[in-house]
Amino acid sequence: MNSFFSPFTNLFTRSEFWGREKELSIIWGRLLSKPPQSVVIIGEPYMGKTRLVKHLTESPLVDERGKGYDFTFIYLDCKRYIELVEDWHPKTLADQEQSLEHHQRDMGNFAAAQFWWDLYNMLPRTLQEDEPFPEPRINEDDALLLDITYEISLAVEKWVRSHSKPIVFILDNFEGVAHLPLRNSHRLRSLGDNCGFVLTSRYSLYVLYNYHQESWAQPSPFYNIFSDTIYLGLLSEQEVSRYLEWAAQEAEKSGSHWNAQDIAFIRKRAGHHPELLRITCVRMFEERWLSQSSSEAESNEQDYKFLALRLVQDGCTLCKRLWEGLTNPELYGLVGSPGTTKKEDSRVLSPYQSTLIDIAHGRIATDTHILFGLEQRGLIESAYEKWRIFSEVMQQFVLMQEEAIDQANTDTLTAINASFSYTSAERDDEHSLTYTEGKVYDYLKAHLDDVCDKAEIMQAVWGEDNMPSNSALQKIIERIREKIEDDPDSPFKLIAVRGRGYMLRRAL
């Protein structure tokens, strides 16, 4: 048995590719078309998009008859071009006096030149007669940057057209390319029929290309070459079972003995999420390796409580990215700059966040559009005809977010409540309001005995860019009534005024 433990002895600190048989089958089927069909893979952070597409480059395809298919894959991570375009800050008064649009255009030209230079340098060096291009410089003149970009893209096109094998360009984090001037997408489309594209992104191409105001007035031909989108969600039950079986066997070989309770704990805490499964295996490997438990020994409840706390900490970064991503407007049909969130009030919950909170509490959620979006992105799953959050770790994180938001607004709620004369029982009921319910209730109290228009309520609580549906507001009103009315079915305090909105009446 090993005499010491370090992170390097932990098998699961490394992110190996596994699973995704269905997605791989679909991708390969499309790439084997004549010509290859281009593919868009959409998924949330930590769902394994990058590992999936890199696996394509590492594992040659051989069919059931033993026939091999030889592609030339060109992989490029495009995340940096987002930062080049968006991370511009004026440094002088002269800069500040010029329009931001002008500077973003200039930075877009530099970022485009950098993209084509990077792409060219990822090509296998089969055209030895070509002299290497010097790397673009940020202080180059705009006209020169345009010339450089064209020359390099022309060299890429020449290489593609002269190459004998089918070529697949894998553009990871494609948001970075979509943020470039549209002519760069046109240029990618014109590279020839001997190549296809595999793109990964958190956003659909529809949203990415609406980032450009002019894009649908002059649609990019690049957008039209892609087959149906592949959404990367949770893993199948069979894939999870096979992974955990393999994980337990590999851990055993290294002296970390897992029993049936341990496997059940991993499955319960991580669900079908690939990264949370890996994180949970990391902790279980460490715990059982250090404790030197035998496979027959029963683990006590205290061990699992400690592990559960550690997993909340370990999964915080992942859960935070998923939670904050739900404030992005493209999720509910508002087109803007992908990746941007409302900064004015981070405590305003989006409809997607509110729905996750409802599901975390076991309440019924009925907005099918929101539920479909959450399921498609692997944030919820259906079990026994009920929705549940994809893992206990994420569920606990969501409840902690609700608690933190409510706590942050306690002083505000108390100050507003103090200006009204409600009974003690009503004040107790107010404490049980969720953050979103409290915000709606606060607005109604600020307009006591006035009829509040539905649109005005939604704009005040969610903001103009995040307004939910009328049915979503109605559900919140119904939940408030359940907490403040003596008879919610016959409301007296919070009433609906047909055709106009809602009114909170002063207590008599």
Please state, in angstroms and rounded to a whole number, the distance separating the CA atoms of residues 340 and 346: 12
Residue 347's closest CA among 369, 373, 323, 367? 323
Quick check: helix, strand or coil at residue 342?
coil
- Residues 256-284 pLDDT 10s: 889 999 999 999 999 999 999 999 999 99
Burial 219-232 (b: 16+ CB within 10 A, else e): ebebbeebeeebbb
Identity of residue 293: S
Q: Which residue has the higher pLDDT, 147 or 406?
A: 147
Identity of residue 85: V
Please state, in angstroms and rounded to a whole number, the distance separating the CA atoms of residues 50 and 89: 30
> Which of 218-232, 269-283, 333-347 is predicted least confidently?
333-347
Identity of residue 322: L
Q: Which residue has the tokens 């696996």?
A: 55
- Residues 20-60 pLDDT 10s: 999 999 999 898 888 788 999 999 999 999 999 999 888 77
Helix (H) or strand (E) holding 30: helix 21-31
- Residues 170-209 pLDDT 10s: 999 999 998 888 889 989 998 877 889 999 998 888 778 7
- Residues 274-330 pLDDT 10s: 999 999 999 999 888 877 644 444 557 778 888 898 898 899 999 999 998 888 766
- Does the structure show a pLDDT above 60 at 88? no
Helix (H) or strand (E) holding 75: strand 72-77
Please state, in angstroms and rounded to a whole number, the distance separating the CA atoms of residues 488 and 183: 58
Q: How far is CA 485 from CA 395, 406, 436, in A?
A: 29, 21, 18
Cite the DSSP H helix spans in 204-340: 205-209, 237-253, 260-270, 274-291, 301-314, 316-325
Please state, in angstroms and rounded to a whole number, the distance separating the CA atoms of residues 314 and 46: 13
- Residues 479-504 pLDDT 10s: 899 888 888 888 888 888 877 789 88
Helix (H) or strand (E) holding 110: helix 100-122
Q: What is the pTM of this model?
A: 0.73
